[in-house]
Amino acid sequence: MIFCARKLTSSARLYKIRQRADAAGLVFCHSEPVPENDRSAVERKEGMNVLTTRPRGTSDILPEEVWKWRRVETVLNETAALYGYSEIRLPVFEHTELFQRGIGDATDVVEKEMYTFMDRGGKKSLTLRPEGTAGAARAYLEHKLTSWPKPVKLYYMGSMFRYDRPQAGRYREFHQFGVENLGLTDPAVDAETVALAYDICRRLGLRNLKIRLNSVGCPQCRGAYREKLRAFLRPVLGELCETCRNRFERNPMRILDCKNDACRALTQGAPAVGESLCEDCASHFQEVRNHLDRMGAPYELDPSLVRGLDYYTRTAFEIETADLGAQSSVCGGGRYDHLIKDLGGPETPGMGFALGLERLILIMEAQNLFVQPAGGCDVFVAALGLRAAYEASALIQELRGMGLAAERDYQAKGLKSQMKAADRLGAKVVLILGEDELSRGEIVYRRMDESAQETLSVEAALGRLEEVKGAAEK
């Protein structure tokens, strides 16, 4: 990360430093907001208006899309409850050290992708969360959930932040649904967690999914594996990218998830971690597979699957689809038996996963799985004339008080245009308030599905609407 204090740097230079940092894949932070003249520099360079354009890699979820998110969130909340998970809501930023320690400082996420900044006051370094597991583990310790009956089952949903090169399915702000099952090493927990991830996808209707399953072993078997890997990589060390060369001694397994094409080619045929397990890890993995076989969850073994975060031990898995292009992984997770101890807590095993919500929604769109719900308007109140408009204000409040979604035309235009508005909103019933009817205490009640209408007393119309509401709720 590069941190620039504005006092030490002119604003013109700030922009140039930021451009260089971006090009080198470094996160750039500065102590004050970008001043006006830098704004115009960004605009000149990138040809966009920063006041009316969102930051790269972020999304606005417009009302016409939000219903899809709600549908997915409903299934996620319901399925989590079926499996005994309780929701936890965690801060969007944490102390930077939590991620350095938890995720590992030789990982891409920590080395290249974190949004890190100094808190005002300049003493504390904070980071927008790039994932949820470290925060959940921190909260588990901070709130002494260690004393809760085991396993402690937590789930969360929310924004995560990674400074990555944006493309379809890969963003700088994205959303995850994650679960963490804390306290037990039993292979049945691993199998159930994989099955939960798969069950969620199934409940959402997703097809053509592949579960890739592996064990990445424990610190004991990984020691021997790292040596094998170094022996394989040593002859090509000079050809690897600089980041990978730096990782060779510190953490050679991370070389296997380098995104650089040359490094990928050079690691082809590297020894697979899943083929270098110690006896205990191999038998744990076999048990996980026995449970999954019995549960009927389809998986493929992939001995070379390594996850990009350092906390994983033993079971690791990803769920992939061919419908996402380059970003094929919709879900990733695994066991992390030492994370909580590494954060200073007692030995507490854990197992979990996170699903990327943008990716889920992209697949569901590609597979035509969304059915748009009917419009949400129960009653539209059309008013003809000023006195009727006053009555409409009172009536519409009464209707909402009855629990009906009610809409009106605030400008009280002609009846034709009000009926068009009612149609556009998908109103089931239109109540027409005219001067003549009002003087008789009556109202026109129009059922939109049958294009039929009748004149009723206001009480009778409200009674009829109670029935409509009751029928809709059944």
Q: Which residues bind ligand HAM (CB under 6 A)?
A: 131-133, 162, 164, 170-171, 174, 176, 178, 180, 308-309, 329-334, 336, 352-354, 356, 358-359
CB of 77 or CB of 328, closer to ligand HAM: 328
Contact indicator for 361, 204 with CB cutoff of 8 Å? no
CB of 177 or CB of 225, closer to ligand HAM: 177
Which residue number places its CB atom closest to ligand HAM? 356
Contact indicator for 270, 232 with CB cutoff of 8 Å? yes
Structure tokens at 215: 């064990």
d(CA 60, CA 66): 10
Smallest gap from Cβ 178 to ligand HAM, in A, equals 5
Smallest gap from Cβ 138 to ligand HAM, in A, equals 13
Q: Tally the residues of the chain.
A: 474
Smallest gap from Cβ 171 to ligand HAM, in A, equals 4
CB of 85 or CB of 171, closer to ligand HAM: 171
Smallest gap from Cβ 71 to ligand HAM, in A, equals 18
d(CA 337, CA 436): 76
Smallest gap from Cβ 56 to ligand HAM, in A, equals 12
β-bridge pairing 152-161 and 173-182: antiparallel
Kindly give, in sequence order, each residue whose CB lies less than 8 Å from that of residue 167, ignoring residues fewer than 6 positions away.
326, 327
d(CA 211, CA 224): 27
Smallest gap from Cβ 136 to ligand HAM, in A, equals 8
Smallest gap from Cβ 321 to ligand HAM, in A, equals 10
Smallest gap from Cβ 111 to ligand HAM, in A, equals 14
CB of 35 or CB of 57, closer to ligand HAM: 57
CB of 351 or CB of 422, closer to ligand HAM: 351
CB of 38 or CB of 358, closer to ligand HAM: 358
CB of 233 or CB of 324, closer to ligand HAM: 324
CB of 79 or CB of 418, closer to ligand HAM: 79
CB of 4 or CB of 184, closer to ligand HAM: 184
Smallest gap from Cβ 429 to ligand HAM, in A, equals 43
Q: Is the dihedral of CA 154, 157, 159, 164 positive or negative?
A: positive
Smallest gap from Cβ 125 to ligand HAM, in A, equals 21
Contact indicator for 316, 214 with CB cutoff of 8 Å? yes
d(CA 122, CA 282): 48
CB of 217 or CB of 356, closer to ligand HAM: 356
Exposure b/e, 110-143, CB count within 10 A at least 16 = b: bbbbbbbbbeeeeeebebbbbbbbbbbbbbbeee
